[in-house]
Structures are given as structure tokens and as C-alpha cells.
Amino acid sequence: MKVRLPMLLMALLVLGASLTLTLSRYGYSFQDRDAIQAASSPLHWSGTDELGRDRTVRVAAALLIGLTGASLAGAITTLIAAAFGLLAAFSNRAIAALLIFVSDVFLSLPWLFLLMMARSLMPLTASPLETAVATFLVLALLGWPACARAVYSGALNLRNAEWMIQGHACGLRKRQLLRMHLLPHLRPLLLPQFLICLPAFLIAEANLGALGLGIGEPLPSWGAMLLEMDNSAMLMSSHWVYLPIILLVIVLLILESISTQVEPHA
Amino acid sequence: MKLVGTIAVRAGRTLLLLLAAALGTILLVRFAPGYFSDPREMDAKYSAVARTEMQAETGRSRLVNRILLDEAESWLKGDFGESRQYHIPVVKLIGGRARVSVILLAKSILMGWLLALCAALPIASLRGGRVLCSLPFTVLLAIPTAAMATACIVSDSGGPVLVLSLLVGARDFKFLRSLLEGAWRSPHLLQARAQGLPTRALVFQHILPNAAPQLYALATLSIVTALGALVPVEVIFTVPGVGQLGWSAVMNRDLPVLVAVSFLMACVVGVAGLFTSRSLTSEAV
Amino acid sequence: MRNFLCSIFLLTGMTIAAFPQAAPRQPGELAWAIHYDPSTFDPVKVDDQVSDLVRYLTGGVLLRFNRQTQQVEPQLAESFQLSPQGTQISFKLRGGLTFSDGSPLTSADVAWTLRHVLAPATKAPIADEFLAPAGVSVETPDQWTVKVHLPKRVIGVEKIFDEIAIEPANHPSEGRVTAGPFTVSEYKRGQYLRLARNPHYWRRDGTGVQLPYATGIRLDIQNNREQEAALFLRGEYDVVDGPSPDYYGVIARKSPGAVHDMGASLNTEQLWFNQSAQAALPDYEKTWFQNRGFRVAISEAIHRADLTRIAYDGHATPAYDFISPANKLWHNDQLQYPKENVAEANRSLAASGFHRSGNQLFDAGGHAVKFSILTNAGNQARQKMSSLIQQDLANLGMQVTLVALDFPALVERLMHKQDYEACLLGLSNAEPDPSSMMNQWLSSSPDHPWNPSQKTPATPWEAEIDKLMQMQASTPMQAERKKALDRVQQIVADQQPFIYLVYPNCLQAISPSLHGAQPAILTPGSVWNIEFLRRDGGAR
């Protein structure tokens, strides 16, 4: 019952954003050049940005794109971290050592260059959506090592827990042990990792704009809107500049509420 | 004997990690776009000089094995080669900066952990409203580093230590709160509370010792997070540390500096990994 | 709860203690920010703008190109004479000159410095400006006279001496022993550079007071423009050299008297298409980009007034020409160029074989007109311009993708691989004379952006530009040079190899407590007369 309220709020948010996008008279890329950084008005509910584009529509579109991209990427990276960590914990010593070695090497390398290579392999005329997908995918594939180590250590401790031994003795197969016992105990590691990934990937996507990746213009980027807050001139121009971050905090609170209610209680 | 063996194995693994990091960096940097380019080529005044230098560089480093030999030679000499940007030995460049970064990291990780632990302990014990009480940390996660820096600059307070501590603290808080929620609800703790044990004893005699293995695991995660956040913090606040040098080296494709920075990163990751393995059983690697 | 509060106090205390303080300012010291470390203090090896600034502030030069009057003035040389054929220049040094360490400065030091600059082993960037440095010889008839023999005339040769800092013979000191107003005294990499006053500087002001007025200069290495603006407003910095339009606005709001918009600079922002035959592009795209009608249509479709108003916050001037109107000596006032007119642009495209179907433009072969515009990341104004242009071209039915790359990757695509379609970049013109632009306009040059290193000119108009530019570089007659350059400007306006967008205005922020500043458009704009600058209460 309790889980339903945050999920309802999330659904309302997504629905609201979709309706804003479809019903608004302005597209997300339309530049009203006579209304640059305009204050909120009946025409533009939350004003316009520095190119005269309606902020409400752009924030709505950014929310949908960013939420989809960052949460899928976060889910993928968390799954990879979980799979890697569990594989290492349940393998023999040699394989575990090799896997942990691989994750340590991963952590030490400057992956920015791989991102540059990825951009150079894509055609320059790749659409903004294609570069967005490529960016989130690459972020998902590179974000797992740190958490994998933590999952490995956590799983190693749980491997020899009494209830694991009993479950094994009762005839439960590895898959069942994993699903029914191990994963729930790893939730305290995996769910925060997913929650942290969301804003981290949004901002990373925006920062990767400097390498030619990220969500290309004129598609709105949630991360880029968050990064606008580093400019005091922007902060002074309008209070609506804070709208993207308020929405992000709301989304994170909703996701956190869902995850808190899903975790097992003693 | 067994101790000597363990030390030998760990030392060997760390050495292998350093070599793999160096090799990986050389390959990534050499084959990334822009290695044989110089931004000065766009400046009519300096383009001829830049072009001559790039031609010399191309001759020197077109083949990967040549780069590997040059790097190996510079490590054996002890100066880690000459920086492409600054034309001084890399070891001289990194020396002073490493100290600045280590101090910044140490202060920030310590303060981040203090903040996270002191907030997570009481919040995790709450029956309801945990999400709302965690709101400040959720907001910290959502604010980009650059925006935090601007807030510090505009309000003329705070600095790189504060921003990095908040970044590390916010992330650690999420994990710690999750971990400690389980700990607060464990049966033996419920009984101890029912028997009237004071909170300080609950925390220091039951919760922290039992959570110690997972806390060690989180320590690695925390150090790695702090290392990742170090670069934007140093760049934004213009702190003359290894992070800022590394970023400048990436933008200028300064291979010798990047190899040295990867080296350092591998050392830290290797040492941080030792913390985790110390906490595990003898079956741990 | 108590523990939580204690930790907050501890954190705050440690943070306040831990905040790194800027180096304290010494009395009479000027201070401002530079954005990266100078690559060298050796004046002959200068190869970036910050090192150039340090050389300007510390180097004693024979002649100085006055940034305000744009005339060459004697400095260490009391007088100079250029022979009528332009192959000999004689300098007469002032009497009693010394370096900052007190040692005498004579013609031997000048000769040594010039020979050092010209020597091939030194690889000094400035040597190339002599055109044939190997043929240049230097003689010193006596200790106050230096004669430089040039194998061929170099237009504007006097200005080259503005960039040659005289060093003690056989003892180059990398800026620590100089004959200029300041010397390099302290350098902390990544933090700051300190310059100290030269106690033996030759120059005095009108009342006989020895210059410079300031006791020193501190240049903070500060990459964060927000921090730079905040420190300027707090009085920690005396100038902000070339603030971006938004930080100009921030400073103007809090200190309106401190900001100066000096109108159009000499720099240009332009868009160009890859016209290289070797480009790895489909043939139909090469056909578009090599088509004059296509380029002209694009120029006509771009609303430059919007670019200046929106991307630069009004601090830019629409551009149609590579010579800025601020360059009064060389600007072609009678230039005929394609005016903004979307209807005309559509007609131009139709005449070139393009047709429209719905919202999409197609070429004669049925290919949809889609291309990318490449630019460098990190320049806000340029990225806004790209977005505005993207919309303007969408009105013509063209689908444009915007790609921002870091500089090395951009240079590789532009200059090495020619792997791009269109590029939007800016060009800095450090000086008004068109001889400094030769590399850009000669078709055989590797710096000829749209089609570099041509063995023979690919088009008749490029051949004509080559001829005219070479002609203006070989004659000292101003009228002939102007006529040639006017013709080059007209060819460029007709053919649109570069679609000029704006001239960014020259913006400066100068602290009200700084006296003597007379900002100029040429770099170093606000500190070109550094000897005469001083702060309130900072007089020696």
C-alpha cells in the first residue's frame, strides 16, 4: 500500500511532463527571439531561457529524456557491479583475484580517452538522440568498478553466513539462494548505488558535451540545465533556473521512498 | 613464512596493477583523437613552430612499442619522462602537487565520513520520515560540483575542502544509512535497547563493530568516489594538485604526466583494496 | 544529536581553516588573473598568449608598437632608420642603459640577442617574421649602434622588434634579468607569478619620476571566471582582461564604472565549409560546399543582429568582412556583401539546384541537405551562436547537427584529416596589418582553413587572392596595398569562403582604484601602458 504513493507520484510526474510536451504551443526547440530570459507569463509559465525557448517545455522534455537515460544507465551499471561482485565472491580464489584485478585496472585508467574515441567513431551527423544513447551506454559500461568491489566484499561476508549454509543444506539451488536470500541482503549496497548514479550520470552526460558526446542541441539536457547553476549571472536572471534541480530532488526523494519501502525490515 | 608469501603475492599483484594501468593509459592516450595535434596550430603566429614540434613528436611516438620503451627508460631513470606541456621532468611536476592533493583528500574523506556517520546513525534509527530527514543529502547529491563552487564563491565562504567533504559525505551517507537501518533493526540490538542500554554503548559496542566489515568495504568505495570528485573540485577551485594537473594533461594529451597520474591512481586503488581484504576471512584475496 | 552538531562545528572550523588564501598583496603591487601557466619565461621561445604577456611586461625592446596610437615608438633605441629599399635598419641606443642587475646594456647585447633569435638552433617563432632569417645579419659599428641587414624587404619590420626582448649577451636569464619595466621574481606553478619592479629601468615620466609606478605585479593563475569576477569586485584584482559577456554583465551590475565596452575588436567569428577535394565526404556534399550559391544563401539566412544581441548580450558587432571596422586603416568602407534576406537565400538555393519538400531541403540528386557544424567546447557565446544558426538554417530546410569538441580533437579534424563538414571558430588578429594574415589567405598555406596546402589554387578567385596578398606584402606603398586589400575583401564577400558572423567587442573591466589606464583594442588591452599604472595609495 505504502509503496503505491511514491509510484503514483512518479507516474504523475512523468504524465505531467508528457502532457506538457505534447500540449504546449511551443516546441522544445522554438526560439522566441523577442523574449530572451523572459519572466514567467501566461505564454511562458516558467519564462524562457537564454535563447528564448520555453523553459517549461524544455524542462519537461529534459526530465523524460534524462530520467529514461540516467535510470537505465544506472540500472545497467548497478547490475554489472552486482554480477561482477557476486561472480568474484562465488568463484575460486584465482578467478576472484583476476576479476578484482580487472576492476582495479578499470578504476585506474583515464576512460575519457575511450569516450573521445567513441565520439570519433560516430559520424558527425549522428542525431542528438543517437549521441545521447551512446553517451548513457558508455557511462553505464564504465561506472561499475567502484561498486563492484564493495559488492564483492559484501557478498564474500554473506557467503559463509549461517542462513546461506542452511539454505544450501535444504537443497536450494544457487539461483534460488541468489534471488531469495543474497540479493535482498545486498540491497543496502545496490539501491544507494543506483540512486547515486542518477544525478551523477545526468551531470556526467552534460560534462561530456565538452567531448562532443551527450545530448546534442536542440534536445534539452537535464544535466546541462543543472550545470547552468554554476553561473551567477544565470542565477540572478530568474528563480526558475532552480526548477530542474527541484524536480531532480523530487525524483530522488520518490525513488528513495520506493527503495526504503521495498527493503526488508527485521 | 606465510606472511612473507602473502606480502610477496600482494606486492606482485600491485606491481602488475601498476604496469597494466601504465600500458592501458599509453594505449588509450596514443589512439585517442588529437594526440598529434597542437592547439597552437590554429594560431597563425605559432602554427609553424607547433607543426615542427608535432612532426618531431609523430616521428618519436607513432609506434606504440617506441612509446613503451621511452616510458620504461624514463621510469628507470626515475624522472618519469618530460611533460609535453611544461617541458620539465614529470616527477618534479607531480611532487609538490601530490602533497596538496593528499592533504585535500585526507581532510575531505575524514570530514565526509564524520558528517555521513553522524547523520546516518540517528536517521537510520528513525521509524518513519527517514527519507525526509535525508533531504539535505539528497539535495547535495543533486547539486553539481560547479554550482556548489559558485555558491562558495558568491557567499565568500567555504572552499575545496568543504565542497569535496560534502560530495563524499552525501554519497557515503546514502550507503551508511542503508547499512545502519539493517543494523538498528537486528534482533540482538532490539533486545539491548529493550534492556535499557544507553545509545553510546549501542553504537560503539554493537552497531559499529558488527558493521565493521561492510564499513571497510565502503571505505574503498569512498576513497574511489573522492578521487573521482577530486578532479572537478581542483579544476574549479584552481587548486594546484594532481587532479588539476591530470585534467590539463588530458586536454593537452600530455602522455608522460597521464601515465604518472594513472600510476598514482593505481597505487591508491591498490592500497585502498588492502583495507577491504584486511577485513575479510582467510579465504579472501 | 549532540555528536551530529559537534561534527558540524568541527567541519566548519576545519573548513574555514583549510580554505586556501590568495597570496597577500604587497603595497603598490598590481594584480590580475591569467588563465593558465606561462609555457616559458624565455622571451625567444614564447608560443602562447600568457608567455607573450610576461614578455611584454618584462622585456626591454628596441621599439614599441604603441597599442593606442598604433605607431612604432623608440624604446631602448633612441632612434631608428629604415633604408629606402627596406633592407637595412639602423638603431641608435640611448646612453646609460643598464639591465635590471645594474650591468650595462650595449650594442653587443642587442647583437647577441638578435643573432640568438635568428639562429636556426633556437627555433624562435619570431624569427620566421623576418621571412628569410638565415640571410639576416647584424653588425655593431660602435657600442651604441646596431645595423640589421635584411636579404629582402619585410613590410612592417619595425613591429617585429616590439617582440624581441634584449637579454644580456651570453647570459640569457629567462626573464630574471631584463631591461623592461619588471622582472620575473617568483613563480609558483599553478598558483601565481610575481614580477618585481626593475630598479634600473631607463624610462622616466614627464616630471622626472622613474617608471614604473607600481612596485610589482602579481599574476594569479585562475581558471575559474566566476572566481575572477568575484575577486575583481572585492578589489583583489585590478583588471579583468576580456571578460565574457555574462561576467561583464555581473561586474557591470555591481560596479558600472569599472566596465568598458570599446566596440568591435579586430577579431572575427566565422563559419566555413570544408572545400578540400581530399575531404572524406560524399561527393554530393563536396558539391554543396564548393557551390558559391549555397554559401551565399547560408550567409543571407543568418540573422547576425540576433547573434550579437543574444549570444553576446549586445557586446558584438555584425560582421561581413575579415577586416573589422575598428581597423580603420584597412577596412573597405565600400564593400558590397550579401545582406540578410531569407527570401533571397531561398532563391539562391533554388538557382543552385536545390528544392524543398515539406520542411526538408534536397539537392538536385535527391539527397537531403544535412550537415554538422563543428566548434570548440567551452566557449559559451560560440555555442549559443551555433544554436541560433541551427535554427536559422532550419528555416531553409537544412538539418544541422552541432558538435563541440575539445581543441586537440578539433585541430586533428580540421588541419590533419579535413574530416569535418562545417566549422564555427574565431580568429584573433593581434595586429591590424594584413601582412600578419598571409598564412590564412595563401592557398598553399597549411593554415588556409577551407582547403589547406593547395599545390595550385583550386579556384580562380583563390589564385587572385594569392596574387593580391603577395603583392601587398611586397610593396611599402600604402595606397597600393589598400587597393589590393580592398579587392581581397570584395572577393571574399562575393565568394563567402568564410561566412563572417560577428566581431566580438573588446570588453575590459578596470578597477576604479587603478590610475593611468587607457584601454586599447590591441592586446594587452588594459595594461599596454603598464609603466604608468598605479593603484590608489600605491605610489612609490
CA dihedral C107, C113, C118, C119 (to 10 degrees): 110
Of C383, C401, C409, the CB nearest to A116: C409
Chain-centre distance for alpha carbon C48: 10
> Which chain C residue shows the shortest CA-CA distance from B38?
C408
CB contact under 8 A, A217 and C226: no
Checking if the pLDDT of B275 tops 70, the result is no
Chain A touched by C378 (CB under 8 Å): yes
Helical axes B242-252 vs B255-278, angle rounded to 10°: 130
Interface pTM, i.e. ipTM: 0.91
Can you give the three-state secondary structure of chain A, one letter per residue?
CCCHHHHHHHHHHHHHHHHHHHHCCCCCCCCCCCCCCCCCCCCCCCCECCCCCEHHHHHHHHHHHHHHHHHHHHHHHHHHHHHHHHHHHHCCHHHHHHHHHHHHHHHHCCCHHHHHHHHHHCCCCCCHHHHHHHHHHHHHHHCCHHHHHHHHHHHHHHHCCHHHHHHHHCCCCHHHHHHHHHHHHHHHHHHHHHHHHHHHHHHHHHHHHHHCCCCCCCCCCHHHHHHHHHCHHHHHHCHHHHHHHHHHHHHHHHHHHHHHHHCCCC
Residue with cell 608535432: B54
Query: What whole-number distance in Å separates Cα of residue A60 and Cα of residue C379?
Result: 26
Q: Is B218 exposed, middle or buried (0-12, 13-18, 19+ CB in 10 A)?
A: buried
pLDDT in tens, B117-168: 899 888 888 877 888 888 999 999 999 999 999 999 888 888 999 999 999 9
Beta bridge partners of A219: none
Instruction: Answer with the residue of higher pLDDT: A43 or B278.
Output: A43
Query: What whole-number distance in Å separates Cα of residue C27 and Cα of residue B39?
Result: 38
Residues of chain A in contact with residue B187, where contact means CB-CB under 8 angstroms, are 266
Check residue C482 and give its pLDDT.
Answer: 95
Give Cα separations from C367 to C285, C370, C393, C504 (angstroms).
9, 9, 16, 36
Residues of chain C in contact with residue A216, where contact means CB-CB under 8 angstroms, are 401-403
Q: Dump strand ranges (E) for B214-265.
A: none
| Local structure of C71: helix, strand or coil | coil
pLDDT in tens, B28-64: 999 999 999 988 888 877 888 888 888 888 888 788 8
Of B47, B121, B245, the CB nearest to C439: B47
CA angle, C72 as apex, C30 and C502 as ends, to 5°?
75
pLDDT tens for chain C, 540 residues long, are 555 455 455 555 544 444 444 567 888 999 999 999 999 999 999 988 999 999 999 999 999 999 999 899 999 999 999 999 889 999 999 999 999 999 999 999 999 999 999 999 998 989 988 988 889 999 999 999 999 999 988 888 999 999 999 999 988 888 899 999 999 999 998 899 999 999 999 999 999 999 999 999 999 999 899 999 999 999 999 999 899 999 999 999 999 999 999 999 999 999 999 999 989 899 999 999 999 999 999 999 999 999 999 999 999 999 999 999 999 999 999 999 999 999 999 999 999 999 999 999 999 999 999 999 999 998 999 999 999 999 999 999 999 999 999 999 999 999 999 999 999 999 988 889 998 898 899 999 999 999 999 999 999 999 999 999 999 988 889 999 999 999 999 999 999 999 999 999 999 999 999 999 999 999 998 999 999 999 986 444
Chain B touched by C536 (CB under 8 Å): no
Give Cα separations from B61 to B55, B74, B248 (angstroms).
10, 14, 20
Largest CA distance in chain B: 82
pLDDT in tens, A56-82: 999 999 999 999 999 999 999 999 999
Query: What whole-number distance in Å separates Cα of residue A199 and Cα of residue A71?
Result: 9
User: What does the pLDDT average to over B108-124?
Assistant: 90
Residue with cell 573521482: B228
Chain A touched by C472 (CB under 8 Å): no
> Which chain A residue shows the shortest CA-CA distance from C422?
A124
Q: How many CB atoms lie within 10 A of CB B211?
A: 17
Tell me the pLDDT of chain B averaged across its residues: 85
Residues of chain B in contact with residue C406, where contact means CB-CB under 8 angstroms, are 34, 251
CB contact under 8 A, C412 and B41: no
The pair phi, psi for residue C516, each rounded to 5°, is 95, -5
Record the pTM: 0.92
Nearest of A252, A186, C9, A259 to residue B118 by alpha carbon = C9
CB contact under 8 A, C7 and B238: no
Low-confidence winner among A173-182, B166-175, B178-187, C291-300 (lowest mean pLDDT): A173-182
Question: How close does chain B come to A165, measured CA to CA in Å?
Answer: 16
Check residue C115 and give its pLDDT.
Answer: 95
* Beta-carbon contacts of residue C476 (< 8 Å; ≥ 6 apart): C86, C153, C155
Query: What whole-number distance in Å separates Cα of residue C228 and Cα of residue C242?
Result: 12
Identity at C169, one-letter amino acid code: A
Interstrand relation of C498-510 and C239-241 (parallel, antiparallel or unpaired):
antiparallel
Q: How many CB atoms lie within 10 A of CB B241?
A: 27
Question: How close does chain B come to C300, measured CA to CA in Å?
Answer: 27
The pair phi, psi for residue C535, each rounded to 5°, is -95, 165
CA dihedral B50, C71, C528, C47 (to 10 degrees): 10
Q: Is B265 exposed, middle or buried (0-12, 13-18, 19+ CB in 10 A)?
A: buried
Chain A touched by C360 (CB under 8 Å): no
> Which chain C residue shows the shortest CA-CA distance from B163?
C15
Question: How close does chain B come to A22, measured CA to CA in Å?
Answer: 27
Q: What is the CA radius of gyration of chain C?
A: 26
> Which chain C residue shows the shortest CA-CA distance from B117?
C4
Helical axes B208-237 vs B145-155, angle rounded to 10°: 70
CB contact under 8 A, C310 and A127: no
How does DSSP classify residue B118? Answer: H
Q: What is the CA radius of gyration of chain B?
A: 24
Which helix (H) or strand (E) element contains residue B249? Answer: helix B242-252
C94 touches C63 (CB < 8 A): no
Check residue B283 and give its pLDDT.
Answer: 40
Give the residue numbers in A contacting C (CB under 8 Å), as ranges. Answer: 29, 31, 33, 36, 50-52, 116, 119-120, 124-128, 209-212, 216-218, 230-234, 236
Checking if the pLDDT of B108 tops 90, the result is yes
User: What does the pLDDT average to over B241-267?
Assistant: 92
Check residue C298 and give its pLDDT.
Answer: 97
Question: How close does chain C come to A125, measured CA to CA in Å?
Answer: 5
